[in-house]
């Protein structure tokens, strides 16, 4: 249909032409008395922490101290005060914490502690402080020898006003102070000293009237998670490969039999790839082959067949009741179960039959399968999240999570979230955490940095990252410093998986057993959360072909039987490093890391410390899996509270050996055939 032309009417003979004033209306004058206009006496700026102007919440875990900063600006010389206003989930009233002024940065600082899981809010208030102004001025006048009789009366009036609003003992104390300020029987010096002492200042800060309060216009938010969101050791296994007999499909009961050993090794989370029925159409064979035999189990990520979809379990693994029993056994061993949440379907999934419009329908009526040209995944249909029936689709995806949450799962590893809409994740994670704030979402997102950050902003608790591909000292330092010391530290929590079913890095393929030990120590000490995928402890390192990061005979497409106690295994290394992590709170944080000079770029040297706990670790890792390396490392003695020439002892937590060091510059030698790293605790 042709679009109608938009025309402008012309004045007619009977319509007078508009005057210049009418044609160009005069701007309305701005008056201080304009209704609704807020006239703040103070300006509050640069409140931290905040993310994108308050668009997204920052993140903390239970027990964290939230450090808050703000610029509060006022004209003139009058004193003013400021405080943090904060409240936790379910709180109706606001709690308060003081902000203190620091002259150097000309900025206010304060803190509060978040003590429970959920969504918190905080803001800043500032106000004129006439009593502090009085204290400042009367001291100066008294020291200058000026007459201050009237000023003492002014102080008494301020204290009397505060007493009227105080209760019980505070009211009595304030009235006594006011009376003393008014009396002529005491020395002026004593009256000044009493009126300006610390006790009176505290009483007045608590009970004095806040005049002309200015409130920061944004109520900022914090998502507070349980501690496992920050600190934990993960282990990934395929339940179908856990049978004790080679070639036999494993069950949940078989997987449960492995849990005591994983507990002994010190793991907190066992992560299971998809446990749902696997599609038959275009099922993949060994090594991602299109040729599939009758006994090939297929890829668990091709979800759904006649037995059900995302809320069903693969019958060969057992029943839903068997899965719930597996969860209970894990809980008995203080291990949590994480499930894979993969929003894609096999052609046999019930959704493909019942809701074909939820997928990408091609002009010929067929449904498009997944592709990443030139790769083709004929056994998987990607979902169309912006289909016409979007609301029902999104609700169905959310209800899958609610189904498994009802069966004891509180952790979900989300497959390829960067290929789904950010708007969907923000809605869905918000909806789930409003009901179950303890749920943890791990993003398996090997994608561009800004997209990875966006996923963390919209709600993901943790994320895989680029650790697998950072192997040199320079790369590791730059990568970790960005995570720990920049804006990302406010909202992005890394999970340093050393390998995955999809990723066998060249460093592991060529570096032998020493390479596996190096990467284990790095992941477990650089980041508070790390993980390994089954077979890592056996140093499995054969790729499907040169130049590929895919495993030969990948467990994604076939069963794998392993001897977990085979010669050369890393069980002792894993148990030791997980024990060290649990016993040393310095390793349970990310932001407390500092890298320090080492006179050999094949050795990475860093410090992790918690001064309040007296826990300081100096860690040196040989990045060369083939050769011994030695170097002088530069210890941050000042940060350790030591003099430049002090003598001190360090204990290697991996071996128990003790060394006497002196000052900043000390010697290390690491032989990859024997010891790839020092994890040194400063002996206090």
Which CATH number is 629's domain given? 2.60.40.1180
**Residue 666 main-chain phi, psi, to 5 deg:** -140, 160
Q: Is residue 118 a contact partner of residue 89, using CB atoms and an 8 Å limit?
A: yes
Q: How many other CB atoms sit within 10 Å of the CB of residue 503?
A: 17
pLDDT digits (tens, 9 = 90+) for 226-235: 999 999 999 9
Residue 408 sits in a domain of what CATH number?
3.20.20.80
Q: Which residues are catalytic?
A: 415, 444
Based on the fold, state whether residues 57 and 70 are members of the same structural domain.
Answer: yes
Q: 429 and 565: one domain? A: yes
Q: Which parts of 53-129 fold into alpha helices (H)?
A: none
Number of domains in the chain: 5
| Structure confidence by residue, pLDDT tens digits, 463-518 | 999 999 999 999 999 999 999 998 999 999 999 999 999 999 999 999 999 999 99
**What was the pLDDT predicted at 354?**
98
**256 & 335 share domain:** yes
174-215 pLDDT, tens digit each:
999 999 999 988 999 999 999 999 999 999 988 877 777 999
Classify residue 494: in a domain, yes or no.
yes
The reply to whether 47 and 66 lie within a common domain is yes
Cβ atoms of residues 451 and 445 within 8 Å: yes
Q: Can you tell me whether residue 374 is helix, strand or coil?
A: coil
The answer as to whether 29 is a domain residue is no
Provide the pairing of β-strand 629-634 with 593-595: unpaired
For residue 208, give every residue at least 6 positions away whose Cβ sits within 8 Å of its Cβ, in sequence order, or none.
129, 130, 131, 158, 161, 162
Closest CA to 408 of 438, 430, 428: 438
Residues 236 and 354 in one domain: no
Picking from 570, 588, 606, the residue at the C-terminal end of a domain is 588
Which residue, 564, 588, 612, sits at the end of a domain? 588
Determine which helix (DSSP H) or strand (DSSP E) holds 96, and give its type and residue range: strand 95-98
Number of CB atoms found within 10 A of residue 171's CB: 16
Same-domain check for residues 258 and 398 = yes
Which of 329-338, 365-374, 593-602 shows the lowest per-residue confidence on average (mean pLDDT)?
365-374
Do 525 and 434 reside in the same domain of the chain?
A: yes
Whether the upstream peptide bond of residue 374 has omega within 30° of 0, thus cis, is yes
**Does residue 528 lie within any of the structural domains?**
yes
pLDDT of residue 372: 83
Residues 353 and 394 in one domain: no
Tell me if 441 sits within 8 A of 429, measured CB to CB: yes
489/510 same-domain check: yes
Does residue 16 lie within any of the structural domains? no
Flag whether 496 is in a domain. yes
Mean pLDDT of 643-660: 97
Supply 516's token pair: 């596996």
Burial of 96 (0-12, 13-18, 19+ CB in 10 A): middle
Judge whether 24 lies within some domain: no
Range of the domain at 361: 279-302+344-382
Q: Which residues pair with 370 in a beta bridge?
A: 377
Residues 429 and 471 in one domain: yes
**pLDDT at residue 10 greater than cutoff 50:** no
586 close to 610: Cβ distance less than 8 angstroms? yes
For residues 444 and 405, give the distance between their C-alpha atoms in angstroms, rounded to a whole number.
20
CATH code: domain of residue 165: 1.20.58.80
Q: Do 293 and 315 share a structural domain?
A: no
pLDDT confidence band for 35 (50 / 70 / 90): low
Q: What is the mean pLDDT of the chain?
A: 93
Q: By C-alpha distance, which of 151, 156, 129, 153 is closest to 140?
A: 151
Per-residue pLDDT for 331 more than 80?
A: yes
Residue 110 clears pLDDT 70, i.e. is over it: yes
The reply to whether 397 and 503 lie within a common domain is: yes
Task: Give a yes or no: residue 663 inside a domain.
Answer: yes
Contact 325, 256 (CB under 8 A): yes
What are the C-alpha distances in Å from 89 to residues 223, 332, 438, 563?
10, 30, 13, 48
Residue 431 lies in a domain: yes
Q: Can you give the CATH number for the domain in which 53 is found?
A: 2.60.40.10
For 370-438, where are the alpha helices, taking DSSP H only? 390-405, 422-435
Q: What is the pLDDT of residue 18?
A: 42
Residue at a domain's end among 363, 382, 401: 382
């Amino acid at each position: 249909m042709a679009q109608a032309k938009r025309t402008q009417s012309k004045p007619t003979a009977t319509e007078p032409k508009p005057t210049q004033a009418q044609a160009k209306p005069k701007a309305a004058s701005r008056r201080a008395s304009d209704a609704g206009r807020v006239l703040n006496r103070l300006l509050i700026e640069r409140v931290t922490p905040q993310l994108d102007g308050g668009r997204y919440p920052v993140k903390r875990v239970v027990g964290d101290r939230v450090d808050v900063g703000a610029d509060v600006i006022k004209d003139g010389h009058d004193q003013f005060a400021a405080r943090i206003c904060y409240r936790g989930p379910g709180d109706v009233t606001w709690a308060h914490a003081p902000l203190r002024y620091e002259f150097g940065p000309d900025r206010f600082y304060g803190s509060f502690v978040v003590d429970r899981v959920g969504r918190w809010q905080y803001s800043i208030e500032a106000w004129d402080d006439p009593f502090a102004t009085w204290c400042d001025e009367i001291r100066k006048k008294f020291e200058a020898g000026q007459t201050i009789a009237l000023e003492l009366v002014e102080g008494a009036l301020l204290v009397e006003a505060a007493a009227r609003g105080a209760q019980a003992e505070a009211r009595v104390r304030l009235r006594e102070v006011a009376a003393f300020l008014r009396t002529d029987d005491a020395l002026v010096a004593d009256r000044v000293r009493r009126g300006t002492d610390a006790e009176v200042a505290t009483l007045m800060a608590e009970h004095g009237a806040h005049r002309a309060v200015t409130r920061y216009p944004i109520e900022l938010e914090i998502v507070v998670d349980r501690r496992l969101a920050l600190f934990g050791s993960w282990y990934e296994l395929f339940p179908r490969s856990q049978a004790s007999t080679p070639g036999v499909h494993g069950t949940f009961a078989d997987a449960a039999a492995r849990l005591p050993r994983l507990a002994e090794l010190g793991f907190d989370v066992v992560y299971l790839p998809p446990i749902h029925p696997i599609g038959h159409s275009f099922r993949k064979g060994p090594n991602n082959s299109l040729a599939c035999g009758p006994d090939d189990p297929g890829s668990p990520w091709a979800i759904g067949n006649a037995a059900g979809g995302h809320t069903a379990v693969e019958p060969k693994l057992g029943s839903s009741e068997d899965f719930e029993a597996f969860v209970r056994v894990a809980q008995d061993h203080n291990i949590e179960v994480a499930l894979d949440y993969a929003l894609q379907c096999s052609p046999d999934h019930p959704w493909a039959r019942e809701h074909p419009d939820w997928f990408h329908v091609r002009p010929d009526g067929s449904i498009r399968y997944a592709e990443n040209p030139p790769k083709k995944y004929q056994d998987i249909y990607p979902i169309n999240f912006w289909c016409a029936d979007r609301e029902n689709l999104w609700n169905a995806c959310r209800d899958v999570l609610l189904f498994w949450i009802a069966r004891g799962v509180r952790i979900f590893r989300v497959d390829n979230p960067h290929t789904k809409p950010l708007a969907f994740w923000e809605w869905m994670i918000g909806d789930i955490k409003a009901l179950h704030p303890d749920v943890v979402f791990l993003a398996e997102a090997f994608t561009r940095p800004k997209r990875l950050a966006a996923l963390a902003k919209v709600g993901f608790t943790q994320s895989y990252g680029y650790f697998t591909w950072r192997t040199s000292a320079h790369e590791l330092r730059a990568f970790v410093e960005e995570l720990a010391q920049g804006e990302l530290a406010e909202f992005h929590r890394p999970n340093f998986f050393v390998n995955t079913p999809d990723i066998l890095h060249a460093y592991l393929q060529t570096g032998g057993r020493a390479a596996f030990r190096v990467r284990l120590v790095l992941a477990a000490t650089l980041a508070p959360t790390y993980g390994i995928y089954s077979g890592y402890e056996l140093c499995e390192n054969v790729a499907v072909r040169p130049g590929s990061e895919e495993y030969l005979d990948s467990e994604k497409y076939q069963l794998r039987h392993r001897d977990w106690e085979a010669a050369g295994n890393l069980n002792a290394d894993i148990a030791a490093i997980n024990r060290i992590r649990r016993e040393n709170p310095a390793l349970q944080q990310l932001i407390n890391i500092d890298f320090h000079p080492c006179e050999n770029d094949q050795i990475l040297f860093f410090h992790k410390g918690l001064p309040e706990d007296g826990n300081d670790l100096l860690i040196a890792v040989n990045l060369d899996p083939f050769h011994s390396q030695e170097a002088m490392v530069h210890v941050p003695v000042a940060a350790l509270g030591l003099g430049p020439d002090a003598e001190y002892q360090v204990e290697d937590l991996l071996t128990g050996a003790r060394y006497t060091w002196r000052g900043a510059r000390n010697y290390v030698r690491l032989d990859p055939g024997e010891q790839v790293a020092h994890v040194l605790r400063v002996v206090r």
